[in-house]
C-alpha cells in the first residue's frame, strides 16, 4: 500500500534535486542564454518592435503626378482667399479658403464622383470621412467642395481615362497657413465590395496608406 506520507516525501526529495540541478554550474549557461533572450525581447518591445511601422509618404511638389489603382492626381497650384464669388463661398473671420487646383484622372473602368458618390461607386476623394485627398495637419471647419475649373456647373464626375482639371476648396483656420505653404496628403485607395444590405456590385474605395505629400506655395489673394 502506498501511503500519502511516502508519496509526499518522494515528491519533496525530487523537488530538492531539481532545484540543486537548476543552480548547478552545468545549468548556468542555459540560464545565461535564457536571460539574454528575455532581455532582447523586452528591449525590442520597449522600442516599439511590435508596433506597425509608420508609412513615410513620398514628398512631391506642384506638377508632380501621383498614380494609384483608383486615380491619378497632379497638384497644379494653390491659393488662399477670403471669397470665391462664383461659387458663393466666403470665409468667416479667423478662417481662410484653401483653393487647390488639381488634374484628376479616373484609372478604373467605371465613372467616379468627386465630392459625392457615382452610381454604385463611392470614391471618397473629398467631402467624406477619411477622404483620399486632405490638407496636412489642419483641422477643417467645413466639408470640402469641388467644381470643374472651366466653370461647368454641377457635380464633378470623372469618366474612365479622361483627365479633368478640378478645383478643390477647404475652409480652415487662417493661422494654419501663416507661411503661405499648403500641403496636400494623397492616400492610396483600397477597393471593397458591398455585402449586407448593399448589392454585390457596389464598390466603396476606402482610405489606405498615405502615399504622397505635395507641398506648394500658395498665392494669397484677399
For the chain, the domains span 4-46, 58-221
- Phi, psi (5° rounding) for residue 206? -105, 155
pLDDT of the residue at 32: 46
Q: How confident is the model at residue 43 (pLDDT cuts 50, 70, 90)?
A: low
pLDDT of the residue at 148: 94
pLDDT of the residue at 138: 92
- Which SS3 state, helix, strand or coil, does residue 54 take? coil
pLDDT of the residue at 31: 43
Residue that wins the pLDDT comparison between 101 and 52: 101
What distance in Å separates the CA atoms of residue 63 and residue 48, rounded to the nearest whole number? 37
Q: How confident is the model at residue 222 (pLDDT cuts 50, 70, 90)?
A: confident
- The CA–CA distances, whole Å, from 191 to 68, 119, 122, 171, 203 equal 12, 15, 10, 29, 7
pLDDT of the residue at 150: 87
**Per CATH, which fold does 58-221 belong to?**
Immunoglobulin-like (2.60.40)
Give the DSSP H/E element, type plus range, for residue 7: helix 4-22
The pLDDT of 6-11, averaged and rounded, is 48
- The CA–CA distances, whole Å, from 39 to 23, 42, 46, 50, 75 equal 20, 5, 11, 15, 49
Mean pLDDT, rounded, of the chain: 82
pLDDT of the residue at 129: 86
Q: What is residue 118's DSSP assignment?
A: B
Residue that wins the pLDDT comparison between 28 and 88: 88
What distance in Å separates the CA atoms of residue 105 and residue 164, rounded to the nearest whole number? 6
Note if the pTM is more than 0.85.
no
The pLDDT of 9-37, averaged and rounded, is 51
pLDDT of the residue at 190: 93
pLDDT digits (tens, 9 = 90+) for 99-137: 999 999 999 999 999 988 888 899 999 987 899 999 999
Amino acid at each position: 500500500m502506498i501511503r500519502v506520507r511516502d508519496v509526499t516525501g518522494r515528491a519533496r526529495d525530487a523537488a530538492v534535486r531539481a532545484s540543486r540541478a537548476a543552480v548547478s554550474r552545468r545549468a548556468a549557461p542555459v540560464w545565461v542564454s535564457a536571460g539574454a533572450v528575455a532581455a532582447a525581447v523586452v528591449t525590442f518591445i520597449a522600442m516599439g518592435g511590435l508596433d506597425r511601422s509608420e508609412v513615410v509618404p513620398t514628398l512631391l511638389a506642384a506638377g508632380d503626378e501621383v498614380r494609384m489603382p483608383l486615380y491619378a492626381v497632379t497638384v497644379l497650384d494653390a491659393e488662399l482667399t477670403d471669397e470665391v464669388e462664383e461659387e458663393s463661398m466666403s470665409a468667416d473671420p479667423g478662417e481662410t479658403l484653401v483653393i487647390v487646383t488639381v488634374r484628376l484622372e479616373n484609372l478604373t473602368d467605371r465613372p467616379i464622383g468627386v465630392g459625392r458618390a457615382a452610381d454604385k461607386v463611392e470614391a471618397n476623394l473629398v467631402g467624406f470621412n477619411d477622404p483620399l485627398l486632405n490638407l496636412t495637419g489642419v483641422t477643417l471647419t467645413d466639408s470640402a467642395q469641388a467644381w470643374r475649373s472651366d466653370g461647368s456647373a454641377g457635380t464633378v464626375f470623372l469618366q474612365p481615362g479622361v483627365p479633368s482639371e478640378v478645383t478643390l476648396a477647404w475652409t480652415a483656420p487662417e493661422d494654419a497657413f501663416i507661411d503661405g505653404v499648403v500641403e496636400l496628403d494623397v492616400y492610396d485607395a483600397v477597393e471593397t465590395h458591398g455585402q449586407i444590405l448593399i448589392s454585390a456590385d457596389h464598390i466603396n474605395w476606402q482610405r489606405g496608406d498615405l502615399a504622397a505629400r505635395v507641398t506648394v506655395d500658395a498665392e494669397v489673394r484677399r
